[in-house]
Structure 1
Amino acid sequence: MSDIPWLDVFSSYLFALKFIAIALAIFMLLSGLDDLTIDLVYWIRRVWRAVTIYRRHDRLDYHALYQPAEKPLAIMVPAWHETGVIGHMAELAARTLDYENYHIFVGTYPNDPDTQRDVDEVCARFPNVHKVVCARPGPTSKADCLNNVLDAMFQFEQRAGIVFSGFILHDAEDVVGDMELRLFNYLIDRKDLIQVPVYPLERHWTNFTSLHYLDEFAELHGKDVPVREALAGQVPSAGVGTCFSRRAILALLQEGDGRAFDIQSLTEDYDIGFRLKARGMSEVFVRFSVMREDGAARATFGRNRRSASVVCVREYFPDTLQAAIRQKSRWIVGIVYQGTKTHRWSANPVLNYFLWRDRKGAISNFISFLASLILLQLLMLLAYQTVWPGAYHFLSIFEGDGWLRALLLVNSGLMANRMLQRVIFVSAYYGLWQGLMAIPRLFWGNFINFMANWRALRQIIEQGDPRRVAWDKTSHDFPSVGGVNRARRPLGSILLEMKLIGEADLDEALRHQGNGLRLGSWLVHHNKLAADDLARALAEQSGVPHDTVDAYRLPPSLVTQLPAALALQYAVLPLREENGVLLLASESDIDPVSLAALARKLKRPVAYCIVPKGQVTVGLRRHYTRAREADPRERLDQAVADGKLSQPRARKLWRHYESRQLLFVEVLMALGHLDAAALKSILLRHQHGQQTLGRFLVDNGIVTPHTLEQALRRQRELQPDMGELIAQAQQMNPMVAG
């Protein structure tokens, strides 16, 4: 008899559970019909486009992305406690991005010296990576960091004489698709906000926390956002893989009184999408597939090759429960609560519908979790009554209510559809195994969203206002890219270590360099260092071999393998072929971005080595420049033939002449008018022009005519004339004994 009161209590509990279940079922019906609407629009639109548009028109081939010239693009990367991450990102971008005219600006903080030191090492190796130090100590909001980065970008534009066409959002842990910048470059003249999909990187199949992001983004960016763009013309930025036009950034700056990003917003990316839409700007979500013949998309059962070849951003998402809850609570505060306060309901009913979908998460996250708990209880009760001997049997809480059973049946069908849609879109990119695993992960995702919602509400209650909730950083992982992020050592310390110069020589060179000569050139010009020894030190600094090249002995068949435009732009000569690799000679370091671009443009693997100073300069003038001057080697050979010089003396004279030849851009840089990053952007713009580089610099306002004349005059002063050298040699040794 002692069990009877407990049975009464449990029966009463089941009776109350019925009314809770009814309320949940009604809301789930509304939410399920809402989701079904998006599904129907997506599939109807997809079928209609397949039977109409794509029957009349071919899909745009990725080769079309190469038609527009490369416009300058700037990538913004906020970095707070990102030691060991940004170097890998820059390395991978340099090796894989099929684009060259881009710059990465990394926002660091004055109280984060480790990240600053890491970024400094990256900047030394990659001229297109720039460190920005925010005005305030961190951590501030991501938006505040981006505002500092944006300000540094405009300052760089003034120094470098370039104008960025697109401004791209990325995080330090992003794996950027190789064709992403070409896609942005293709669209940026027509669109003001361009968003590409985000597909999380996979972890071990047991890590449901990290992999539930995979499920959500696969469906969100595979179906929901494309429908949103098609119906409302509005695209929420994902915070990464987003490109803004210059017009959009200038409009945001004007609206924000000099601040493009709202520093109090926890989801500044989401906020900007609405601000640009309100200004009538064009936004697009791009699912563009790069269908290469080599089948770049890895073959996996159930995978759709076109979907798996889409240009996208890949990154690891949090793999611990606490980190996932923190990140998602930030999203919920920003999108649901801050968004509701900042972005009121509009006059556009379609846009209001998607605002409702954004904000219903404040309720649906709780409802989904409670529904899962009720389902779990009912399954446990069913198992108890089925398996346990002599178990008590309770009437079903749905007994006798036909309408309720019908409601549950409809909800079951809607839930089955939800699972089917999730399986379809996850499988399309990741394969059928991950698609099927999305079903059990759905329940774990409900739990994470529920806990994140609780945390978001608690933070808002504690602060009294959703806009007072502090930005909460998520820690980042980066996939292994191979190789070592090797720091670039100063040339002076290498020369001292190799005992090629003394401390006094280095101090003197550092005091006097800059008047048209950089450190190594100054040492050579002032007979403190041999050109061969400088090449050895530069090779050690760059981690490549050193060699020598005689431009007058290069076979014509080898010279023609390197077009003049590329030889002059990158200041290289073809040295030889080694196992199918074209080995290039350079007098200085070639950054990884330029080396990768050379390989793409030549459509073959390339490597480089360092050669003594002047050898490439002489070779470029002999084989590739348009203006043909008197050949110095011919004058020297004629002097030998006329008996004015002996062969040994002539060889020594040639080495002296050759090592003191300077490229015009080297003089400009040494005089302080250009830096390596600015020079690279300038050469990219100049490569297809017909003007001389000097005239191009003046016409584009990069240098004044006076500066140009000063640099040319200094170049003439620093470079010896072969006729004068021969005359001097004769005066010193009139007998020419050799």
Structure 2
Amino acid sequence: MLAAELSPVDWLVLLQHELLLFASLFFLLGTLDELAIDALYMVGRARGRIRTPRIDRSTVEGRAIAGPAAVIIPAWHEDDVIGATMRHLLDAWPQAQLRLYVGCYANDPATIAAATRAARGQSRVRIVVHSACGPTTKADCMNRLYRAIEGDERREGLRFRMVVIHDAEDMVDPAALPLLDAGLAKAELLQLPVLPMRQRRSRWVSGHYIDEFAEAHAKAMVVRDWLRAGFPSAGVGCAVSRERLALLDLQAGGSGPFDASSLTEDYELGLKVAEAGGATKFVRVRGDDGRLIATRAFFPRTLETAVRQKTRWVCGIALQGWDRMGWSGRPLDGWMRVRDRRGPLSALVLFVAYLLVFLTGGLAIAHQLGLARAPVVTPATKALLIANAASLGWRAACRALFTAREYGPSEGVRAVFRIPLSNIIAIMAARRAVAQYVFSLLGGTLRWDKTEHREHPAVSQEMLA
């Protein structure tokens, strides 16, 4: 049939067919990628190379550490939670050799006041005020904290053994600090899992974070650790040896170990340490009470704040990361970086898939009314659709199982129904991230578009047990 003879509805049928091929092929590629990780995970479990050891909490919690440790927390407009975070951390980690550094800005007096109240009577706390007006970037604030650490070392004649990075809303595990301290004997960068806390008033938006982290920090990260592929730090629950930070600072020409121009300095930190030949370790351990030793926190509970947070992740990792980090020479690391940076493409494919749902439904109605021909499904297209349907079922089952293991069967069931919401957030974040990236290419300055925190899990009644 000539193009001139095609009706508008016929053009829609052709469009639907082409979009179906596009989405199906890229979904299949994504499926093969995920199945490779699944297969490696199962092989590692079967061979005993991937396991989660258990420890007796009573012998670990409060145990003395081998040398001075600095904990750094950058804070901007965190007056609602910083006090609770500091008090909980100091109670959970009573080790005398611990020192907590909280970074604030001169134009944020509320956070300075809240941190000062929490530090009252605590000799282990330093409040560091940045001379620049905030917000700059999280990395810039951490560089200011690093300079404060150097100053204390010079004045007091001491040398910290490690620096632990946390966010202003984190709830630390009492056993975490001794574990990180012991791990420094084998690695220069150690990362604990992150466990988002359930919230009664946001079972869906905040809930989708528990699904994603439950699977990522129980499977993908442990596989990368087992394969000795460089993995990104999470920016919380991350310990770096003091000597490695000094080397990173030296490599940066003395501008600081954290790149102040990066939106995702945490992601880059782990990869930089691995690239420089430093050993990294993902520390996944359970206590004898069955609880994972991890960093717990509330994650965004509204659609707007979730999209804003994930925009920063996508822009920093997938878009800026391509420019800033390039590609490693090792094929294994290259594969992992492809996985890290596939967010915008995955979002595009998901958008096309949801568009196809509406387009196919509309064409089916038009066909029943005699306004359009039935779409032609070739054997190859049919095979792709069957493969992708099976893949969707497998992915949903994996998501449910990993979520149920940490949060119980009811959350495992909810995890399946939260998948569409997770996809929608990813699509919205990717569109916003591309716009931000283009803005930066045109000379714009990207600032710390941080998530605001109103409640802390250590004191809030929002938390579900």
Shorter-chain TM-score above 0.5 = yes
| Partner SS state of residue 163, structure 2 | strand
Counterpart in the other structure of 2:419: 442
State the 1:209 CA deviation.
Answer: 1.8
| Partner SS state of residue 125, structure 1 | coil
Q: Which moved more, 1:41-50 or 1:339-348?
A: 41-50
Counterpart in the other structure of 1:236: 232
CA distance in 1: counterparts of 2:286 and 2:321, whole angstroms: 32
CA distance in 1: counterparts of 2:83 and 2:225, whole angstroms: 35
Counterpart in the other structure of 1:87: 83
1:192 paired to 2:188: yes
Aligned counterpart for 1:316 among listed residues 298, 321, 335: 298
Q: Which moved more, 1:460-469 or 1:212-221?
A: 460-469
1:417 paired to 2:399: no
1:471 paired to 2:453: no
State the 1:158 CA deviation.
Answer: 3.1
1:397 paired to 2:394: no
Counterpart in the other structure of 1:617: none
CA distance in 2: counterparts of 1:425 and 1:42, whole angstroms: 13
Counterpart in the other structure of 1:588: none
Aligned counterpart for 1:432 among listed residues 409, 413, 417: 409
1:334 paired to 2:316: yes
Counterpart in the other structure of 2:264: 267
Aligned-CA RMSD value: 2.6
Matches within 5 A, 1:274-313: 274-291=271-288, 295=289, 305=290, 309-313=291-295
**Post-superposition CA distance 1:570-619 (Å, at most 9, x none):** xxxxxxxxxxxxxxxxxxxxxxxxxxxxxxxxxxxxxxxxxxxxxxxxxx
**Post-superposition CA distance 1:28-85 (Å, at most 9, x none):** 10111101110111112112218xx98xx98665567477744221111001111131
Contact 2:230/2:275 (8 A) holds in 1: no
- AA matched with 1:474: T
Counterpart in the other structure of 1:538: none
CA distance in 1: counterparts of 2:208 and 2:31, whole angstroms: 20
Change (3 A) 1:443 1:348: same
**Post-superposition CA distance 1:639-659 (Å, at most 9, x none):** xxxxxxxxxxxxxxxxxxxxx
Counterpart in the other structure of 1:348: 330
Change (3 A) 1:380 1:345: same
CA distance in 2: counterparts of 1:41 and 1:205, whole angstroms: 37
Contact 2:71/2:99 (8 A) holds in 1: yes
State the 1:190 CA deviation.
Answer: 2.2
List structure 1 segments (4+ residues) > 6 angstroms apart after TM superposition: none
**Post-superposition CA distance 1:658-684 (Å, at most 9, x none):** xxxxxxxxxxxxxxxxxxxxxxxxxxx
CA distance in 2: counterparts of 1:467 and 1:419, whole angstroms: 40
Contact 1:68/1:185 (8 A) holds in 2: no
Aligned counterpart for 2:354 among listed residues 351, 368, 372: 372
Counterpart in the other structure of 1:576: none
Q: Give the structure-1-normalised TM-score.
A: 0.58
Q: Give the structure-2-normalised TM-score.
A: 0.91
**Post-superposition CA distance 1:423-466 (Å, at most 9, x none):** 11111101111111112211111111111111111122223269
Matches within 5 A, 1:114-129: 114-129=110-125
| Partner SS state of residue 49, structure 1 | coil
Length, aligned pairs only = 453
Aligned counterpart for 1:217 among listed residues 213, 218, 223: 213
**Post-superposition CA distance 1:675-701 (Å, at most 9, x none):** xxxxxxxxxxxxxxxxxxxxxxxxxxx
Counterpart in the other structure of 1:145: 141
- AA matched with 2:18: F
State the 1:100 CA deviation.
Answer: 4.3
Aligned counterpart for 2:241 among listed residues 242, 245, 262: 245
Q: Unpaired segments of 5 or more residues in structure 1?
A: 1-6, 296-304, 484-738
Counterpart in the other structure of 1:627: none
| Relative contact order higher in (CA < 8 Å, ≥ 6 apart) | 2
1:204 paired to 2:200: yes
**Post-superposition CA distance 1:393-449 (Å, at most 9, x none):** 8655353x1111011101111111111111111111011111111122111111111
Change (3 A) 1:76 1:380: farther
Counterpart in the other structure of 1:102: 98
Change (3 A) 1:200 1:477: farther
Counterpart in the other structure of 2:165: 169
Aligned residues: percent identity? 32
Contact 1:212/1:441 (8 A) holds in 2: yes
Counterpart in the other structure of 1:36: 35
